[in-house]
Chains A and B, each alone.
Chain A
Amino acid sequence: MSKWIEVVELYKIPVLGSRLIKTRDMDIAVFRASDDRVFAVHDACPHRGGPLSQGIVHGHTVTCPLHNWKIDLYSGNALAPDHGCTNVFPVKVEDGKVYLQLVGENEEAAC
């Protein structure tokens, strides 16, 4: 199990907005919903790899900026009628700070 990494203070993510996190291997988008729930997904739409971090957040969904696919932030699944899935990462908020768990390639959640 990977460790929890502190990535950003919650207030630095706009409500209904996102921040882009760059790791050595990939880009991860961290979203903040209007109920202050936080989500982290691989910053690539299953359709054509569009940067989801640049999309519009509504409910617990983000709409990709390139072709308007809607991605469920809990599961990373594209909403019907589209099909596809992007990786989600465990994330938690403690004392106003956002922590992220990077799941290694071998432990990658199956889509």
Chain B
Amino acid sequence: MLKENLVLIGNGMAGVRTLEELLKLAPDAYNITVFGEEPYGNYNRIMLSPVLASEKTIEQIMLNSEQWYIDNGITLHKGKKVGQINRARREVIASDGTVAKYDRLIIATGSLSFMLPLPGADKQGVIGFRDIKDVDTMLEAARNHQHSVVIGGGLLGLEAANGLMKQGMDVTVVHLLDTLMERQLDKPAATMLQKSLEERGMKFLMEHSTAEILGNERVTGLRFKNGTEIPADLVVMAVGIKPNIELGKAAGLHCERGIVVNDTLQTITDPRIYAIGECVQHRGIAYGLVAPLFEQAKVAANHLAKYGIARYTGTVTSTRLKVTGIELFSAGDFVGDDKTEDLVFQDVASGTYKRLVVQDNKIKGAVMYGDTVDGSWYFQMMRDGTDISALRKIILFGQHHLGDSGHNPDTHVASLPDSAEICGCNGVCKGDIVKAITEKKLFTLDEVRAHTKASASCGSCTGLVESLLAHTVGGEYSATPKTKPLCKCTDYTHDEIRAGILKYDLKTMQAVRDHFEWKTVDGCPTCRNALNYYLLCAFPTEYVDDAQSRYINERAHGNIQKDGSYSVVPRMFGGMCTSDQLRAIADVADKYEVPTMKVTGGQRIDMFGIKKEQLPAMWKDLSAAGFVSGHAYGKAMRTVKTCVGSEWCRFGTQDSTGLGVKLEELTWGSWMPHKFKLAVSGCPRNCAEATIKDIGVVCVDSGYELHIGGNGGIKVRVTDLLCKVATEEEVLEYTGAFCQFYREDAHYLERTAPWVERVGLEKIKHAVVDCAKQRKALYERFLISQQPAQIDPWKARAEGAEANEFIPILIEA
């Protein structure tokens, strides 16, 4: 089949990003031709401000070299402006007469600076701030002239003013209103910003409206409507941008503010023509920031590759000001109305201001000045619609106040030295990450992970890496996509896929992959393991577990160690044991010459250095002595840790060991989204450390407190109190119901701590505590799923199941 022709008009970030996404999906689908008006390759337009401030060079902000176009077989016509689209003949005609035929066309003509129609606006030295040419004009002016005026105190205007000041010019910012950046900031933040910029030497004329630009050939000054005048050798108009729709309009495409497109970024007039980026109007909105462009690019590429499964539904945007030394963040609805409430932290002396606009315990908007480290965190919660009622008292102090004791409390990544270790698992320093981001031009968290391994293991430093990324390449990039797909094999999220499994009764992994149009034949380790778990959870009595879609630890029912040997941990219910059991373990250890034994943190005994082929025989002996698998290797219920309780302890209020044994008998063998630990403490002295477990029971004189969502791992998190109950029977029922709710709701590999923070405590309380009917249904489903789960995998394998897994083939050679 002949390849179709794809033409891109506009060699900017949005258009080229679409091509990059398309090449990833369908590298050979099209002959691609690109027209660009500017005489350069593709560069990162949002980094023009740092170029103007001499913090970066043009070379550093180039995204795709000309070699990239050659390598990908793309014909690049640079410096050629397309003057006409002939839709009947399906061709575009450039001003120099070049003609290109298209089967599909992408219009990405971006936007233009909005130039005020003032008398004298056509004089030399009056410019916008949009492209490399404008930056060159400003740098030229800075060398030869003294006075510059920026009209417009918005984001772009202040960045331009800061750059000109850095170049040694005297800068005055003229603004129509009394508040700077009124589209992003509220009054207190804007006042702090203005004060800080004034201290740096920037001058402001607030509530001034320009009447006329003075001068002969070149500008010499400005006159305002109030009659006053100031001198000016350079005037930068930064009052806004307007979508560049001239070409689309001339081609007869329906335009309002921008070229109107549908959810697949096709113009509503002509489905062969796509439009993307700042020239577009989607659901009534024309975006001027970069994050939406990237999301649009993904969707358009998906459609061009004929996958047709992605939809663009709009973007919630956030803003950071790229002025070195000034930290400012704004997102969402920061004004609020009579339905919203404000959470405010203000410390004028230290220059810190944070305001969250909250409605129904969900973040609607945020403005931050001075300390913006937690901007991404608030933004994430805002997009996810997280219920913050449990966080309200501490939320303004930031994420590291939630108990991130395992990591550097100084999350001010900007102030860290290059040698500071960011990723403790893989030993990656700040300098390595910054270098990789700048040299390899990385934009996304995934790319940084792939190239540096930072945050690719335990993930606890993800926030740090994200802020580092944001800080290095500009704030807009911090926005990871609104919804994260399950893995690279699909565009659908965990939640969409889980819901689909139930709704469409998809009972095999192949059925799920077919239904959701997987991009790979048999998935990847990420989705295979997740799907296997989701299906097992949805259809516990029907689904046949797929051993090849489990991590080796779960397939071999032991923990793989760094030399390829395994460790064996028999279950000891509630940490209780007898001398006979200990003797049996000692005998097994002797028989198999176990080199190392250790008592684990979960009150059991771990035997290390076991060869895989020895495992079934060893399990047979342990099984004969009455032991079952401890599941110390699985994304499963692990242990119930107990303290001794009222049987012996003079402080004990209840029989904590007895309850621990009952809880472990109820829950052992259960597969979970991640590992899952319980503990029972006999009194509030809490010797079993129950308040850092997934479920912690703290016995009190009048009953039992149930705590959930604790974690003693990478990031310590203290549990939230779920409720208090009076009897052991209730403890068991609530525990089973909570386990099942977590099993059915959390994403695979999401522990209870981040899950509770994501979905909010209220939702869990409602399902497990408030609604007795739902609790009983959950508990019932848990019991059903436990029936097939409580068949000891060790005993089965000792009796010959899965023998091929454990027996190597010996050959004489």
Contact = CB atoms under 8 A, between A and B. Distances in A.
Contact of B808 (A12, A22, A66): A22
A14 B564 CA distance: 20
B451 A81 contact: yes
A21 B564 contact: no
B808 A65 contact: no
Given A34-B521, A56-B528, A58-B525, A20 B808 contact: yes
Contacts of B555: 54
B564 A22 contact: no
A81 B556 CA distance: 29
A57 B548 contact: yes
A19 B813 CA distance: 17
Interface in B520-570: 520-525, 528-529, 547-549, 551-552, 555-556, 560, 562, 564
For B523, B529, B804, which residue has the most chain A Cβ atoms within 10 angstroms?
B804
Contacts, number: 79
Nearest to A60: B521
Contact of B551 (A19, A20, A24, A65): A65
Given A15-B548, A58-B523, A21 B811 contact: yes
B808 A21 contact: yes
Contact of B549 (A22, A56, A102): A56
A67 B457 CA distance: 8
B810 interface: yes
A91 to B, nearest CB: 13
B450 interface: yes
Interface string A2-44: 0001011000111111011111100100000011000000000
A2 B523 CA distance: 36
A55 interface: yes
B96 interface: no
A59 interface: yes
B809 interface: yes
Contacts of A16: 522, 548-549
A20 B564 CA distance: 12
Interface of A is mostly: loop
Contacts of A102: 813
A63 B525 contact: yes
B347 interface: no
B813 A24 contact: yes
Contact of A59 (B522, B552, B809): B522
Contacts of A27: 808
Contacts of B556: 54
Given A58-B523, A65-B560, A17 B809 contact: no
Interface string B735-746: 000000000000
Given A48-B562, A66-B562, A22 B809 contact: yes
Contacts of A100: 811
Contacts of B562: 48, 66
Contact of A7 (B525, B549, B804, B809): B809
Interface of B: 450-451, 456-457, 520-525, 528-529, 547-549, 551-552, 555-556, 560, 562, 564, 804, 808-813
Interface of A: 5, 7-8, 12-17, 19-24, 27, 34-35, 48, 50-51, 54-59, 63, 65-68, 80-81, 100, 102
18 contacts: A5-B813, A19-B804, A19-B808, A21-B809, A22-B808, A22-B809, A23-B811, A24-B812, A35-B521, A51-B560, A51-B564, A56-B548, A56-B552, A58-B520, A58-B522, A58-B525, A68-B456, A102-B813
